[in-house]
Amino acid sequence: MTDGDRTVPPSSSTRGPEEIRGHIEYLCDLWATNLYNDVEFREGLDEHAAVAIHTHAHHAARLASALLELDGRVAGIALMPTVRLIFECGITCAWLLTTPDAGRTLLRDGAKMRKIAIEDLVRQGGEAGPGKAQAERAFDVLQHELEGTPVATMQGRCLSLKDGDHLHTLYRALSNESHAGLGITDLYVIEDERSAIGMSFEPDPVDSSRDSGLAIAAGLLFLAINADTQARKEPSWLPKLEQVARGLGVPLEIVRADGSTA
């Protein structure tokens, strides 16, 4: 696989962490330049998908800004939950752009989860408010219209894109380092023959996660902003994004699993 085939920047001695940071900073600054202007999306793009792409790209940019603040102040492994959410936003933006009915599927699945959450709240004595009826109406309508369309899991979103198996494997690795569980315990425990239980606590373990975390964040932030740009009626940022793509070693085209492009 060549560098240009990858969604995540490849390991390379010519792309150190400071260069990757520079690309993240540039993308965050670029996003901020158009933050409060009206956005007009291209014809034929479902309005639900357009709104979801824009909001997820914005969230990715906000998260990336926070990541830059955290970088250098905490261990690289502590960056992983933020990197994981940037990953989710980038993949979701690309999936929304390339998949028919993805916007409505996202809305349906979200309405279902909101409906369940409100029902749980009511069972515990809380007030439903207007949100319950709204969620029920949206879910019922979309469930009927999208009959047979599966739930849009992160695995499904990854697999809808080129190199989806690799993307999903990477997502699972990020999840292992982001959720409470054995993965977190393993980070801070080392074998120790002197210990009665054969192991001891290591508060400052050897950590090689920073470089890979920044690279993943850069690649998926780029994917999110690139998807938003390609969704617009006038994708004026494409020349600037093409330069960033060359710098990161990632493609400008967003490619589906079947090889077609958005």
Contact assessment for residue 213 and residue 83, using Cβ atoms and an 8 Å cutoff: yes
Kindly tell me if the per-residue pLDDT of 8 is higher than 80.
Answer: no
pTM tops 0.85, yes or no: yes
**Reported confidence tier of residue 2, pLDDT bands at 50, 70, 90:** very low
User: What local confidence, expressed as pLDDT, does residue 195 receive?
Assistant: 94
| pLDDT, mean over the chain | 90
* Euclidean distance between CA atoms 157 and 137, whole angstroms: 25
- In tens, the pLDDT along 222-243 reads 999 999 999 999 999 999 999 9
Q: What is the pLDDT of residue 134?
A: 81
Helix (H, G, I), strand (E, B) or coil at 202: coil
> Residue 40 pLDDT > 60, yes or no?
yes
Tokens for 78?
């502590």
Name which of 190, 191, 188 is nearest 180 in CA terms.
188
